[in-house]
Chains A and B, each alone.
Chain A
Amino acid sequence: MLSLTQVQAKHTLPDLPYDYSALEPVISGEIMELHHSKHHQAYVNGLNAASEQMEEAQSKGDVASMTKLVKAINFNGGGHINHSIFWENLCPVKDYRPPQGALLEKINQDFGSLEKMQANLTASTVGLQGSGWGWLGYDKQTDQLYVKTMANQDPLSCGAPLFGIDAWEHAYYLQYKNVRPDYVKAIWDIVNWKDVEQRFEAARK
């Protein structure tokens, strides 16, 4: 019998901070609607289903099932985490302002300049094979900003994710077709640097 304290709250799809069409012309409303209401929703649903099955397997001590479910939780949980960050990492073009303060200082320190960091993350994301994400991350242990790509929906494996670029085809294909470089180049116009700066501050604590 599960007590109320054992029942996990279900994961839910977060609302976007803006309308589906708000990121045009960089990302079309059509993509945003599919990406949020279908893809991200599917990760949330998958995570809830896998979590429920995992709870049941754990309560039975069914290790075989538990190990099988780890993959589904990694994939769907990672998808939920990554997309939740992504929506907040972006803002409409009209609200864009360049990075500033401690984050800008650290970018200049660790990469030489903002342009060099952008070139680095752009090249990594464009060069990523298959599905995955390009990340700007911060490693508190080494006090370093770094660029890293992760495959599929694997969450950033070390340090804190600050800004991510979704390189899955569903993130750009309807608008940019196979020309991922055009999408990655354009996305820099809608980076919500305030959000990235806040993540950096939180990661440094």
Chain B
Amino acid sequence: DMAGMDGTSTVEEMMSTLPTVLATAGPSGEPDASATAFRKNGGGYLNHKMYFATMSPEPQSEPTPGSPLAQAIDTSFGSWADFQEEMTNAAATVFGSGWAFLVLDPVTGELSVIQKPNQDSPYMDGLIPLLGIDVWEHAYYLLRGPDRGDYISAWWDVVDLAKVEEAFARVTAS
């Protein structure tokens, strides 16, 4: 039975305990099957929830000048353009299925860009995802075929920074 599966923890909290749970190998040396299933489905649930929530047909395309998020991005990356380049590159270079994320380290307060394979969630590393791009082939193949680069460029046109600012305010308030 996985820690926290009694209804008292959030999905985010359970994802954070996952590395410890996964490290507990069964008799065959494999991690517990329920932990593996939670990693896939819990991670997939959180990742897609955020992905759909941070896109919109009439988005705010850049952070509000002078906002806490804008300042944090400048501090951590140098500029908005520098962040975009790093995020784009991370998304383009994921091998196989996975995601690129903008994450907040709650301990240091720093923002960074990370890659994750399959449906692994940054919560597993104790990091808080603020923005993510799905680069599994199913995210772009029907419209663009193999052209992941094209999809990433187009995705920036629907990323809604208003939503990211809201999330940033929520997670930094505590």
Contacts and interface: CB of A to CB of B under 8 A. Distances in A.
A130 B138 contact: no
Contacts of B141: 169-170, 173-174
A130 B137 contact: no
Nearest to A178: B138
Given A130-B98, A151-B96, 20 more contacts: A34-B146, A38-B145, A38-B146, A39-B146, A71-B95, A129-B118, A129-B119, A130-B117, A131-B97, A132-B96, A152-B95, A152-B96, A153-B95, A153-B96, A168-B96, A169-B141, A170-B141, A170-B146, A173-B138, A173-B141
B40 A131 contact: no
Interface residues of A, number: 19
A75 interface: yes
Interface of B: 40, 95-98, 117-119, 136-138, 141-142, 145-146
A42 B137 CA distance: 15
B137 A169 contact: yes
Contacts of A174: 141-142
A150 to B, nearest CB: 11
Interface in A160-186: 168-170, 173-174, 178
A173 B137 contact: yes
Contact of B40 (A39, A42, A129, A151): A129
Contacts of A39: 146
A34 B145 contact: yes
B93 to A, nearest CB: 10
Nearest to A74: B95
A111 B87 CA distance: 47
Interface in A34-50: 34, 38-39, 42
Given A169-B138, A178-B138, A130 B95 contact: no
